[in-house]
Amino acid sequence: MSHYKKSLALGCLLAGLFYAVCLAAGGEGSVMSRIRQATERQDPHKQVTAPIPVPKHIVRTTEDYQGGAFYTLTRKGEISRFKCSSCHTGTKVTITNAAAMSHADIKVSHGPKGNPLSCNTCHSQEDRNLLVSAADPKIDFDHVYNMCGQCHFRQKKDWIGGAHGKRVTYWAGKRVVNNCTTCHDPHAPRFEKRWPATYSAPLK
């Protein structure tokens, strides 16, 4: 066979192969048609709807769980003094006791006994609208779990997995969980021990 004939034969062989692959990919009962069938839109009448509506104010967390996205309740809308920058403009305050006047209601009871955490361990000094951790100087209040998680990494891990902090929506649809500060007051996060509101009358 001449050199020319050899390459013509090879060309025909390749073209034939290509045609066969195209047939397999597009034809009846082909891989592509089976994929198409499998990914067909579900019948909406057969779908389970979420038992409770997904809350409006949620944010996608910065971490996924087992490859899946999950969401948490936002916080900024719940903080009465937000935006902090409406007062914290960077202008020097010359009034004595200004902090006590504006934030006297905040008593920190959080951290080692007798040595509570300082405001600036959690709040950014550069921008009061933000929280801080050793690793991240700019944490949005909505992602507060990342701030708490630098110290309470075990609880954060449990929270991501669903073992700490409750779900807001049930198992169908979007996974939405409470944020750390939905439950815990960051300035005094411990829940005091208490008796149940109602209890059985003592036995005689």
**Smallest distance, ligand HEC to C-beta of residue 33, A:** 46
Burial 154-164 (b: 16+ CB within 10 A, else e): ebbeebbeeeb
Residue that has been written with the tokens 């411990």 in this structure: 190
Residue with tokens 């996924």: 64
CB of 85 to ligand HEC, least distance (A): 8
Positions touching ligand HEC (CB under 6 A) are 75, 78-82, 84, 86-88, 93, 98-99, 102-103, 106, 108, 110-112, 117, 119, 121-123, 128, 131, 141, 144-145, 147-152, 155-156, 159, 164-166, 178, 180-184, 186-187, 189-191
If the CB atoms of residues 30 and 59 are measured against ligand HEC, the closer one turns out to be: 59
Q: How far is the CB of 52 from ligand HEC (least distance, A)?
A: 16
- Closer of 34 and 167 to ligand HEC (Cβ): 167
Decide: 169 and 176 in contact? Cβ < 8 Å: yes
Pick between residue 165 and residue 175 the one whose CB is nearest to ligand HEC: 165
The rounded distance, in Å, linking the Cα atoms of 143 and 18 is: 52
In the bound complex, what is the minimum distance in angstroms from residue 144's beta carbon to ligand HEC?
5
Q: How far is the CB of 126 from ligand HEC (least distance, A)?
A: 12
Neighbour-count burial of 149, counting CB atoms closer than 10 A to its CB (0-12 exposed, 13-18 middle, 19+ buried): buried
Of 5 and 92, the one with the shorter C-beta distance to ligand HEC is 92
| CB atoms near residue 168 (< 10 Å) | 19
Contact call for residues 136 and 129 (beta carbons, < 8 A) = no
The identity of residue 103, as a single letter, is H
